[in-house]
Chains A and B, each alone.
Chain A
Amino acid sequence: MDATAAPPTAPPRLAFDGEPGPPRPPRPLGLMPGRAWLALGVFGVMALGVVPALHLFTPRDSALHVSDYAVTVGGKIMCYAIVAVAMDLVWGYGGILSLGHGLFFALGGYTFGMYLMRSIGRDGVYQADLPDFMVFLDWEALPWFWRGTDHAAWALALVVLVPATVAFAFGVFAFRSRIRGVYFSIITQALTYAAMLLFFRNETGFGGNNGFTDFKRVLGHPITAPATRVVLFMLTALALALTLLLARFLVTSRFGRVLAAIRDAESRAMFLGYDPLWYKLFVWTLSAALCGVAGALYVPQVGIINPSEMSPASSIEIAIWVAVGGRGTLVGAVAGAALVNLAKSWFTVAFPEFWLFFLGLLFIVVTLLLPEGVVGLGWRFARRRGTP
């Protein structure tokens, strides 16, 4: 933001971990307040123990049974929550609003999808060595970038490397010339838009607008089996917990303080001797890599990846998850992703034509009335009641 439009009002104060408070116990337990550890523990027990057990070991008609649908939706939402935490890192703590995070999510999904496509083997419609869509396009051999994707380890490495490389390259250019604020947001939006157009083309080699689907197995296990589903669910829960811990570690570290300083007054931080480029670049690249992991977990659970994940609309939805939950809080991102996506699941079944009205209103109401999100609202209530 330059001086041509100086803010008449000060921006709302975000949660800042440098505020004075009661002394905390030393790390690693001091990473979070006790209640947060408790919540994480409850989440762990639920996601790693109770839900899998109820899904696998209760009869289908039992009241306690957790259905396939519920497990899939739960897994999907946890993937989104990882993305939301990654977004909160760059937006809530770095002040960088990305409207292109869907790209990194989709890139992770596509890279792992390549492995899943390769492991279909000859069980596809055309019973060929090549993926079906390539047979359909009359291709003779795999393009070079598909080489090695039949090895799970290489595919998993790509899941992190591809989004991180793209983000790094883009970030170097963008941050070096100090593009920020809305300019940066718009350019990230254009980036994901261009990528979507690219992936819509059949010649790009990623299945055109159908993307990848009809997966048969993952790591040799049938992909639709309840056990596989539960394992994927548990892995996602684990990834979410680790992401949260990592993010919390980062934002409470010295790095996180500098990042917040850059967010609040970039020029001042520069004059104090910090180079914003590397701080921003690191958190930006890390965030993209986390999105890639989330995408890789998402694809086997949902069973499809296509270029619509890269549309500007789905990327901007990620921002609203974080805004609804409350940015700069991490836990808010998880809550926001869960709330918005549960609402979406419910609306698209019950009142499909009202979903966009709801989403549009959500954007406006949250930005106008809930600048700190639902988590901030909850904390405010708690403070008023006098509880710590």
Chain B
Amino acid sequence: MRRSLSVALKALLRSACSLVALACCSASPALAALDAGAVSQLASEDSEEKIAAIRRLAETGDPAAVRVLQALEADALQVAGGKVVLLDGGRVLDAATGQEIATPLEDPEGITVNNRVRRVLAGALAGLRLVDPDRRVRLAAAEELAAGPRPDAAPLLARALQEESDRQIRPLLALALAQANLTSPDPAVRLSAVKALGASSHPAVERLLARLLDEGAEPDAAVRSEARSSLRSVQLRVTAGDILARVFSGLSLGSILLLVALGLAITYGVMGVINMAHGELLMIGAYASYGMQVLFARWFPRALDWYVLAAIPVAFAAAALAGALIERAVIRHLYGRPLETLLATWGLSLLLIQSARVVFGAQNVGVGNPSWMSGGVEIVAGAVLPWNRIVIVGFSLAVLALVWFLLNRTRLGMFVRAVTQNRAMAGCVGVPTGRLDTLAFALGAGMAGLGGVALSQIANVGPDMGQAYIVDSFMVVVLGGVGQLAGAVGAALGLGVVTKFLEGWAGAVIAKILVLVFVIAFIQKRPQGLFALKGRLADD
């Protein structure tokens, strides 16, 4: 509420400001007087003279000068009777004073701008845009100047850098200035420019510095050695940022896999049931968060940002309910026949997918990030950690902690562990194994629902969404071993990070295949998974 108020206030202020600005403009059509000598020099026949005049005008940073130079670029500056005039729509203004000239001109003549002059002009205008009050204009200008060296813009850049306070524009300006200074004939200036580049994280810097290592490009040995050390520090930072970004995206993939695999691990651990419809429980969770979004947009539009929080319990309940129904209706009757269970749950998954298609349509539905989850944190340049992924990693850790608590610190958890270890014995000492199966299955399904909420924030929500994760999450269960939280965690995060690194190295498809080969090779060595239960486990 307070937030929206402040937003409204800001908007009001902004529009007021622009109104004032507009009023100022219309109140004084006459621009402040410029250096008349420089303006008339623009009309000179000699290109050198013209360029000098452009530079003189540009250095003033005066809005009137900007206007004249823009007119020159647009071929709207003319000479008539020794006077430089500016054509503005139907009006004719004196370029130096900005006064309107009422008397018709005698044979006006355009000012020719050849390519060399035009280049200087464009650079000067870009430099002038650097002091524009509009942040976007400044950013665009800074980007343009940072793209290549502009020796003539150096003084302007230095001045703009002093005045600029925007965190996004400043590094660009520093980069552009350093690039401009690199072309300076003075080695000391070049040296300081190279040093400055060493602190920049712009992707272009690496190439720029690498070029300086060549003796032909840089005669001064001190500058060359400085360039080498700057290059090293830049490369180090780029590599570190890259690795960090990879590890993080691996962790975020791993945390999704973990959410999916936690549920699978519970159901498989307790009941030995491979639930092929697990991915569809995920889908139910995702559609539940879509439903909450629709509900909030319709009834509580002001609290729309918090629909995700409301979606968490709803998705858990919806998926858990579906899980309990599935267990009661189908899986209960198939205990001890794991292969048939697998086929029946596959049938269930087909039913659920087709039902979702009928109810919600075959197209993906749009689930938006709340505003507090959009954007990201820039750790180092080039490595932005998006908020939604950070939240998901935190969320899955929280769910993990909850599951750990549930399994290890509650009576229900004790029963679950007892049944996992020895079903018959647990039944003998009074554990209600039948009811427990339903509860455990509902719990596992609820986990999938939570995974669905998380997934809805970063992936498409559609009827087929569960299918994409099911193979991977089974790999996690296979790798992690049965009924082992530590195994599931290690396998999920490990697979996530390894997959992301392989993807960077060999592409997504080859990475998937390599991971599969790795899993097959791994269970050669440890058929019981990462953390095998110790002791004798008879099979059959």
List chain A positions with a Cβ less than 8 A from chain B. Answer: 1-12, 91, 97, 170, 173-174, 176-179, 181-183, 185-187, 189-191, 193-194, 197-198, 200-201, 265-268, 312, 316, 319-320, 323, 353, 356-357, 359-364, 366-368, 371
Residues of B within 8 A of A316 (CB): 343, 346
Report the minimal beta-carbon distance from B452 to chain A, rounded to whole angstroms: 20
Residues of B within 8 A of A312 (CB): 471
| Given A194-B513, A200-B509, A364-B524 contact (CB < 8 Å) | no
| Given A185-B339, A187-B478, A190-B474, A179-B523 contact (CB < 8 Å) | yes
CB of B34 within 8 A of chain A? no
Neighbour of B330 across the interface among A201, A267, A356, A364, CB < 8 A: A364
CA distance A181 to B358 in the complex (A): 34
Flag if B336 contacts A173 (CB, 8 Å): no
Interface of A is mostly: helix
CA distance A63 to B61 in the complex (A): 93
Residues of A within 8 A of B151 (CB): none
CA distance A91 to B342 in the complex (A): 14
Of A91, A176, A177, A364, the most chain B CB neighbours within 10 A belong to A364
Flag if A4 contacts B350 (CB, 8 Å): no
CB of B435 within 8 A of chain A? no
Of B340, B421, B533, the most chain A CB neighbours within 10 A belong to B340
Contacts A316-B343, A367-B334 known; 17 new A-B pairs at CB < 8 A: A2-B538, A4-B533, A5-B338, A8-B423, A9-B336, A186-B474, A186-B478, A187-B478, A189-B474, A266-B540, A268-B540, A320-B343, A320-B347, A323-B340, A356-B353, A360-B349, A368-B333
Residues of A within 8 A of B524 (CB): 173, 176-177
Number of chain B residues whose Cβ lies closer than 8 Å to a Cβ of chain A: 55
Flag if A181 contacts B338 (CB, 8 Å): yes
Which 5 A-B residue pairings sit nearest by Cβ, starting from the closest? A363-B347, A7-B336, A5-B272, A360-B350, A360-B351
Q: How many A-B residue pairs have CB under 8 A?
A: 156
Measured CB to CB, the nearest residue on chain A to B337 is A11
Report the minimal beta-carbon distance from B464 to chain A, rounded to whole angstroms: 10
CB of B74 within 8 A of chain A? no
Measured CB to CB, the nearest residue on chain A to B272 is A5
Residues of B within 8 A of A97 (CB): 339, 342
CA distance A187 to B520 in the complex (A): 8
Flag if B351 contacts A357 (CB, 8 Å): yes
| Given A97-B342, A190-B474, A356-B353, A8-B537 contact (CB < 8 Å) | no
| Given A187-B478, A360-B348, A4-B420 contact (CB < 8 Å) | yes
Measured CB to CB, the nearest residue on chain B to A323 is B343
CB of B475 within 8 A of chain A? yes
Flag if A198 contacts B513 (CB, 8 Å): yes
Report the minimal beta-carbon distance from B323 to chain A, rounded to whole angstroms: 16
Neighbour of B519 across the interface among A190, A201, A356, CB < 8 A: A190
| Given A177-B527, A185-B339, A371-B340, A4-B351 contact (CB < 8 Å) | no
Neighbour of A1 across the interface among B340, B348, B475, B539, CB < 8 A: B539
CA distance A141 to B343 in the complex (A): 44
Neighbour of A2 across the interface among B346, B509, B519, B537, CB < 8 A: B537
CB of B271 within 8 A of chain A? yes
Measured CB to CB, the nearest residue on chain B to A354 is B354
Flag if B337 contacts A7 (CB, 8 Å): yes
Flag if A198 contacts B269 (CB, 8 Å): no
Chain A to chain B contacts (Cβ below 8 Å), 8 pairs: A3-B538, A4-B482, A6-B422, A97-B339, A177-B524, A182-B339, A267-B538, A268-B540
Report the minimal beta-carbon distance from A13 to chain B, rounded to whole angstroms: 12
Residues of B within 8 A of A194 (CB): 512-513, 516
Chain B 418-455 interface 0/1 with A at a Cβ cutoff of 8 Å (1 = within): 00111110000000000000000000000000000000
CB of B123 within 8 A of chain A? no
Residues of A within 8 A of B272 (CB): 1, 4-5, 182
| Given A194-B512, A265-B540, A5-B423 contact (CB < 8 Å) | yes
Report the minimal beta-carbon distance from A146 to chain B, rounded to whole angstroms: 21
CA distance A5 to B416 in the complex (A): 12
Measured CB to CB, the nearest residue on chain A to B533 is A4
CB of B344 within 8 A of chain A? yes
| Given A7-B337, A181-B338, A197-B512, A267-B539 contact (CB < 8 Å) | yes
Interface of B is mostly: helix
CA distance A177 to B273 in the complex (A): 21
Flag if B538 contacts A367 (CB, 8 Å): no
Measured CB to CB, the nearest residue on chain A to B420 is A4
Report the minimal beta-carbon distance from B155 to chain A, rounded to whole angstroms: 51
Residues of B within 8 A of A174 (CB): 520
Flag if A359 contacts B513 (CB, 8 Å): no
CB of B360 within 8 A of chain A? no
Chain B 266-292 interface 0/1 with A at a Cβ cutoff of 8 Å (1 = within): 000111111000000000000000000
Flag if A363 contacts B336 (CB, 8 Å): no
Neighbour of B342 across the interface among A185, A200, A268, CB < 8 A: A185
Neighbour of A189 across the interface among B269, B330, B334, B471, CB < 8 A: B471
Chain B 452-477 interface 0/1 with A at a Cβ cutoff of 8 Å (1 = within): 00000000000000000001001100
Of A6, A174, A362, the most chain B CB neighbours within 10 A belong to A6
CB of B250 within 8 A of chain A? no
Neighbour of A10 across the interface among B336, B343, B513, CB < 8 A: B336
Residues of A within 8 A of B423 (CB): 4-6, 8
Residues of A within 8 A of B516 (CB): 190-191, 194
Flag if B344 contacts A368 (CB, 8 Å): yes
Residues of A within 8 A of B127 (CB): none
Flag if A177 contacts B523 (CB, 8 Å): yes
Residues of A within 8 A of B521 (CB): 173
CB of B496 within 8 A of chain A? no
Chain B 522-540 interface 0/1 with A at a Cβ cutoff of 8 Å (1 = within): 0110010000010001111
Flag if A359 contacts B347 (CB, 8 Å): yes
Measured CB to CB, the nearest residue on chain B to A362 is B347
Flag if A193 contacts B523 (CB, 8 Å): no
CB of B335 within 8 A of chain A? yes
Flag if B539 contacts A197 (CB, 8 Å): no
Flag if A3 contacts B422 (CB, 8 Å): yes
CB of B487 within 8 A of chain A? no
Report the minimal beta-carbon distance from A303 to chain B, rounded to whole angstroms: 27
CA distance A349 to B51 in the complex (A): 76
CB of B98 within 8 A of chain A? no
Flag if A364 contacts B348 (CB, 8 Å): yes
Flag if B350 contacts A356 (CB, 8 Å): yes
Residues of B within 8 A of A177 (CB): 523-524, 527
Neighbour of A7 across the interface among B335, B354, B539, CB < 8 A: B335
Residues of A within 8 A of B424 (CB): 6
Flag if A182 contacts B344 (CB, 8 Å): no
Flag if B527 contacts A179 (CB, 8 Å): yes
Residues of A within 8 A of B540 (CB): 1, 265-268
Chain B 300-344 interface 0/1 with A at a Cβ cutoff of 8 Å (1 = within): 000000000000000000000000000000100111111111111
CA distance A25 to B60 in the complex (A): 113
Measured CB to CB, the nearest residue on chain A to B524 is A177
CA distance A6 to B423 in the complex (A): 7
CA distance A220 to B520 in the complex (A): 43
Report the minimal beta-carbon distance from B516 to chain A, rounded to whole angstroms: 5
CA distance A359 to B351 in the complex (A): 8
Flag if B537 contacts A182 (CB, 8 Å): no
Report the minimal beta-carbon distance from B196 to chain A, rounded to whole angstroms: 43
Flag if A357 contacts B344 (CB, 8 Å): no
Neighbour of A8 across the interface among B336, B519, B523, CB < 8 A: B336
- Within residues 476 to 520 of chain B, which ones have a CB less than 8 A from any CB in chain A? 478, 482-483, 509, 512-513, 516, 519-520
CA distance A185 to B275 in the complex (A): 12
CA distance A320 to B348 in the complex (A): 13
Flag if A190 contacts B475 (CB, 8 Å): yes
CA distance A357 to B475 in the complex (A): 28
Residues of B within 8 A of A182 (CB): 272, 274, 338-339, 342
CA distance A7 to B271 in the complex (A): 9
CA distance A177 to B522 in the complex (A): 10
Residues of A within 8 A of B348 (CB): 360, 363-364
CA distance A201 to B424 in the complex (A): 50
